[in-house]
Structure 1
Amino acid sequence: MTKNRVVTDRLHLWLMLILTFSTGVIDAVGYLGLDRVFTGNMTGNVVLLGMAFTGGADLPILRPALALVFFMVGAALAGRVLRKGPEGWSGRTSSTFLTVTVGLTALAVYVALVDVAADELLGSITTSVLATVMGVQAATAKRLKVAEITTVVVTSTITGLASDSRLAGGKSPFWARRASAIALIMAGAVVGALTLRVDLWLGIAVSALLSAVVTLLGHLRHRQDVSGGHTENVGEAALR
């Protein structure tokens, strides 16, 4: 593995960890600020719907159901865009992450101007749009294939951390990134909850900013890799 590949893989890991933190922020905003709906962690919505169907504790049904559907729509759209692109980061990856950034930014502005929490329809639209954007993010992150990092769920990460630990007789592979993902999604939830003390839009804006940073850094690194690969190919051709 070349030095450039190592540097790129390490950067991708850090970028996906940033998005994991961002997911924690968004889920805290959705659950605490928009009638107990997860817009990033779909496992939570499935469980909520299962309990709600039995009339448990007056749990919401419409918003979690819509979030689940629109998350799948976002993931499907991103999957279609990325399917024709190469593995790893590409121009298509940059475009889908940019879509996430633009979507979150527009939604933050909209929520800042309109009291969506006070209107049932507007609140449902907001959570549905958030879920769509998070579906795009999750599908794009999956395409990068950063081991043990999905950005939207950590149950499998927690399982891997425990079952592969030295306590379980394993060698604790990927323990640092697994522990980091768990800590960061929790830290994101803390930050998301704190932003609600200011207003609903702030948590969405924080996630938009983080998405913009990830998109920019990832795209710049991709351009460097492409440029470096082109230079290497030219050099090899000259030696033939």
Structure 2
Amino acid sequence: MHQRKPSLIEIPEDMPGSRNLRDQIYGQIKRRILSGRIAPGEHLREKALCEELEVSRTPLREALNRLGNEDLVIFRPHCGYLAAPISAEEARRLQELRRIVESKVAALAAVKASEEDIKLFRAAAEMPEIKAGDDASFVAFCQANARFHLLLAQCVDNHFLEQIVMSSLDQYQRPAYLGIGRVTDHKKPSKCHHDIVDAIEARDPTKAEVVMCGHVIGGSERIIAALIEAGY
């Protein structure tokens, strides 16, 4: 069975002892990068990380190289490992990828989703309320949004598509975790999600594709504009 790389919403906060050490290190660092605890472009100091995580340099480097393969960490000679930077241009590239892939995922879901899948989509479509000045409520919103998109990708039963969707969505949400381009009202994304489910339930792949495309473009344009305004 294919082992998919975990999305941010699937990485536990702690490092349970039953998990593989390399997976623990990978999960801890990935969560910190995606959630903004490690800032974009920040130097990942190996010695400090080894001491903090109480691990040796070999498994740490293996984890960093693994994250490098996911474009979350970059290595520069004479400098070492850095958290991948964010920029408006990268956000545009992600928009292109998500628009192409997630629109097709929605279209496929309209053909492949079972009645039970559709019930799950409907339950996940409603986003939690975002409270002004409350970071925890925004994190909950981001996680709920990711779960909705993950459910759509999982029902298609194609691990290549699923991996692309979740990896790109994690990257897409990085600026928002840093407070850049955040959604302030949960109502519009909730409506978009319900519109997508409506099209899937109607077994209308063309409409599902169109609605998902508009949903991806709308959110991406907000973040791109915020990145430009913030100087990224």
**TM-score, length-scaled by structure 2:** 0.36
Larger of the two Rg values belongs to structure: 1
1 or 2 for the larger relative contact order (CA 8 Å, sep ≥6)?
A: 1
**TM-score, length-scaled by structure 1:** 0.36
Structure number with higher strand proportion = 2
